[in-house]
Structure 1
Amino acid sequence: MRRVFWGGLKQCRRGFVEKIDFVTSLGYGKGGDDRASYGVTTKGPSRLSTNLCIMEPHPTDKDFIVTSIHPGISRGDMIATTGWQVEFVYKIAQTPVLSDHELQVLCDLHTCTNAAHEGQ
């Protein structure tokens, strides 16, 4: 099964707005079955990972809801950095701390990405 994850996003009110000016990627459109109304048959994003939390689409309306908060982050932090009314799952998880190996892999990926963008 193919799944789409959006990651590496910095969560702030400027980027996480109530209403967007233009669409660069359909996501779930206006929610619910809006994606299908355009004839799109592929699955939409399964997970959104920010510097504060992990969000997943609600099964029915497809609005992103917080399923896991990163260590040291509070619900208040989430609310203060989001331009819409944040919803949380009933039993919120705490995102596991990454191992040294996982952190190194991410650092290496970041280095490769920067080099690629600089044409190296």
Structure 2
Amino acid sequence: MTDAEYTTTELLSVLSARELAGRRRVFAGIGLPTLAVALAQRTVAPDVGLVYESGVYGAHPQRLPESIGDSFLVSGAESVLSMSALFGFVLQGGHVDVGFLGAAQIDRWGNLNSTVIGEWERPKARLPGSGGAAEVMANSREVFVVMRRHDRRSFVDELDFCTSPGPARARAAVPDAPVRGRGVTTVITGLGLLRRESAEEELRLVAVHPGVDADQVREATGWPLEVAADLPTTNPPTERELRLLREEIDPRRVYLR
């Protein structure tokens, strides 16, 4: 542990990296997932391989990429595939252990919305949409979601739109839906850590960050949130983890805030 000050971005990056212990292949997006995998490679998961939807497999970029099309993604990569090959053989072939996703909304079952806020015909906001998120949800062995904001606008009782359905919702709509994974198992937020073990379970609060209590998280959640009987506090970043993030991984502060 450390008494050093740290930001929410640093905390979420560190906690996400720790979750990758024992994992081998991670399908990640730009931003917090990139920071988390880079830190995991230097700490708990030196052999973890990073996969990007642009076709890069086994990424080891010389510096942090600033977009999914950044040329630095291919520097040091184990291979570069076409997007169709990556999705068809790597992701849909069942070779991804963890998919990292973000969303504007999440419900108690781990279904995600990244398409529209409000009514479809008269939305309050239109969002980027799925990209590869629906395929990542369906084909990764499990999915981690990282969300800085934890409030009733993001953690909702009912999604305004379901972009990435978890296994149970997908099979309810299409009984023979080709869903191989467990869906969302872990959600790391600015308030704490939520988990679910199976498609039939709701997300429940299993840890809170320093200075946060269960009532605060319940108040910020749009459904009656289940809370673990034993509710620990997450361990803050260590001095080594902060040094790696600040001095080696993102010294230019591309993503660190």
Common fold: TM-score over 0.5: yes
CA drift of 1:48 comes to: 0.3
Aligned to 1:48: 187
Q: Which residue of 1 aligns with 2:154?
A: 15
What amino acid sits opposite 1:85 in the alignment? P
TM-score by length of 2: 0.38
C-alpha contact 2:157 2:222 (8 A) present in aligned 1: yes
Alignment match of 2:166 (pick from 14, 22, 27)? 27
Instruction: Measure how far apart 1:97 and its partner are.
Output: 1.1
Structure 1, residues 5-56: CA drift from partner, whole Å, max 9, x if none?
A: 111331011111110111122234549x759943311231221000001001
**Mean alpha-carbon deviation: is it higher for 16-25 or for 60-69?**
60-69
Give the TM-score, by structure 1 length. Answer: 0.75
Q: Deviations over 1:73-98 (max 9, x none)?
A: 01110111011001012212211111
Q: Secondary structure at the match of 1:102?
A: helix
The aligned runs of 1:71-82 (5 Å cut-off) are 71-82=210-221
Q: Which residue of structure 1 lines up, in the alignment, with residue 207 of structure 2?
A: 68
Residues 79-94 of structure 1 correspond to what in structure 2 (within 5 A)? 79-94=218-233
Counterpart among 239, 242, 245 of residue 103 in structure 1? 242
Query: Larger C-alpha radius of gyration, 1 or 2?
Result: 2
Structure (1 or 2) with the greater strand fraction: 1
Gaps of at least 5 residues in structure 2 are 1-22, 24-96, 99-142
Supply the distance in 2 between the matched residues of 1:70 and 1:60 (Cα, whole angstroms): 26
Local SS of the residue matching 1:78: helix
Secondary structure at 1:67's aligned position in 2? strand
Aligned residues between the structures = 113
| Structure 1 residues 53 and 76: CA distance shift in structure 2, 3 A | same
- Native 8 Å contact 1:66 1:88 kept in 2: yes
Instruction: Using the aligned pairs only, state the percent identity.
Output: 23
- Aligned-residue RMSD, C-alpha: 3.0
Unaligned runs of 5+ in 1: 115-120
**Whole-angstrom distance in 2 between the partners of 1:8 and 1:110:** 23
- 1:117 corresponds in structure 2 to none
For the 8 Å contact 1:28–1:35, the answer to whether it is kept is: no
